Amino acid sequence: MKRLVLLGLLSITAAAATMSVHAETAGAPPEAARYQVAQSDVGFFVDSHGRRVYFDRQTNRIIAVEEPQPLKGLLERVLPPLAATPRDDSNDFPPAPQTPPQPRNFPGTADPIPAPETVERAPLDERSPGDGNSRIRSLDELLAEQNPDAPARITPPDAQVPQPRVVPAPDAGETPAANTKTAAMPRPEPNIPSKGPVVVKLQVLLDRLGYSPGVIDGQMGSNVRKAVAAASQVTGVAYTVTDEATLDAELDRTGGPAFAQYVITPEDVAGPFAESIPTDYAEKAKMPAMSFTSPAEMLAERFHMAQNYLEQLNPDVNFYRAGTTIRVVAVGQNVERSVAHIEADKANEQVRAYDEAGRLIAAYPATIGSSDTPSPSGLVQVDRVAIDPNYTYNPKVNFVQGTNTMVLTIPPGPNGPVGSIWIALSKPTYGIHGTPEPDRIGKTNSHGCVRLTNWDAAELARLVTKGVTVEFID
């Protein structure tokens, strides 16, 4: 559409110029007739008001101004109507067509092509192009003739079309006036670290306070967020990695920095260690124990760490060599207050322990049942506690593992199916127990029981006695 307007402008300009030449040379000497009208070279730029200003590249004269749609008709309101301009002015433009072309419809198109819009024109300067003292008159100057106080800001280009001025958006932190009604706009989220040493500081602090984040691995995940929520319920403080100063102060109050040095002892490397742990239960039953597979795995569990994170902190370290100093996290002491009631929250995948007054004293991330083998519902009680238990596999009672259809007894050890702790419940075959895969707690399903990390299960086992109620929350 704008190309049609521009072609119309060029045709009108050429026609007007031709008429002017013929009028002026009617009674002039013959050599005046040799003047020819040069073909127009029209460019445009967008001024600071958003108007498209057309100009002759050869003379730098403004030809026409196209207003933005909201400001259409501005020139008619400021300048005298174009129809009132004397027609004997050689620089005058003929009036715009009264009837715009009708829209055309092409076959197969969904929408009609709109008719060209009207282009508002500004009168050209009266000086001739050959005048050496000629100067470009800007649109603002033309407007200033009607309003002398208006500043002149628009300057046509000498050679190149200028780029439109970009107006920056207001600062997101500005507060609108009290009587200003604005639409609610979301603010950008702060850059919250998702991993690294500051996340470890948060994990260690939560572990010391008794609200377990699961494995300490320097990764911000769902288990950490659940622990933060539990701690906030008791302390009233929502600890966050964006406030490292508070984390450092709380770490100093609860035992010191998050990281510490540890020297590997001969007992740490003495073993015995299993070469590997098979997945098949029949193969597990043939082994003497479900032992750790390396000193690194054993030390990672002792310090509540993911094994790969321990190895990342200590690259090129031989964990089998006694006397080697390694870097670990400085976890705190176990919770010592007795537990009177336990909640197993299935939806939130968390176990929460309360004292007799109903105060939350500990929280642990958990894996609680699955859709195929759901956990119990309602209220049960703690029946007994077994430390380092063996495991009896009975496919007729629980689930079928692989192709094993016979009853099997799997020896004890931290890598056994129930880890190193079994807290039996009053509902037969169900319990709260440990796991050989602590980094998968809260991320996988269980066979109906409540699964914790070995160290969390060991802490809870020391706090409960027979008859403590366990409520399963759906």
The pLDDT score that the predictor gives to residue 60 is 78
For 30, the token pair is: 């013959």
The pLDDT score that the predictor gives to residue 55 is 81
Position 33 pLDDT exceeds 80: no
Distance, in Å, from the CA atom of 290 to the CA atom of 276, rounded to the nearest integer, reads: 9
Least Cα distance to 120 among 153, 81, 164 occurs for 81
Question: What distance, in Å, lies between the first and last C-alpha atoms of the chain?
Answer: 65
Distance (Å) of CA 373 to CA 17, 19, 187, 376:
92, 96, 43, 10
Distance, in Å, from the CA atom of 91 to the CA atom of 54, rounded to the nearest integer, reads: 15
Distance, in Å, from the CA atom of 460 to the CA atom of 392, rounded to the nearest integer, reads: 22
DSSP 440: G
DSSP line for 308-327: HHHHHHSTT--TTSTT-EEE
Segment 98-117 mean pLDDT: 46
Q: How confident is the model at residue 69 (pLDDT cuts 50, 70, 90)?
A: low
What whole-number percentage of the chain has pLDDT above 90? 50
Over the stretch 236-288, which tens digit does the pLDDT of each residue have? 999 999 999 999 999 999 999 999 999 999 999 999 999 999 999 999 999 99
Q: How confident is the model at residue 180 (pLDDT cuts 50, 70, 90)?
A: very low
β partners of residue 432: 423, 450
Position 424 pLDDT exceeds 50: yes
Map residue 384 onto helix, strand or coil.
Answer: strand
Least Cα distance to 366 among 212, 219, 471 occurs for 212
Provide the whole-model pTM: 0.60
Over the stretch 383-393, which tens digit does the pLDDT of each residue have? 999 999 999 99
Which residues have CB under 8 Å from 51's CB, separation 6+? 65, 66, 67, 68, 71, 139
363 or 124, higher pLDDT? 363
Identify the weakest region by mean pLDDT among 21-30, 86-95, 200-209, 423-432: 21-30
Residue whose token pair is 């009207």: 118
Distance, in Å, from the CA atom of 2 to the CA atom of 121, rounded to the nearest integer, reads: 14
The pLDDT score that the predictor gives to residue 332 is 87
Position 147 pLDDT exceeds 60: no
Over the stretch 223-244, which tens digit does the pLDDT of each residue have? 999 999 999 999 999 999 999 9
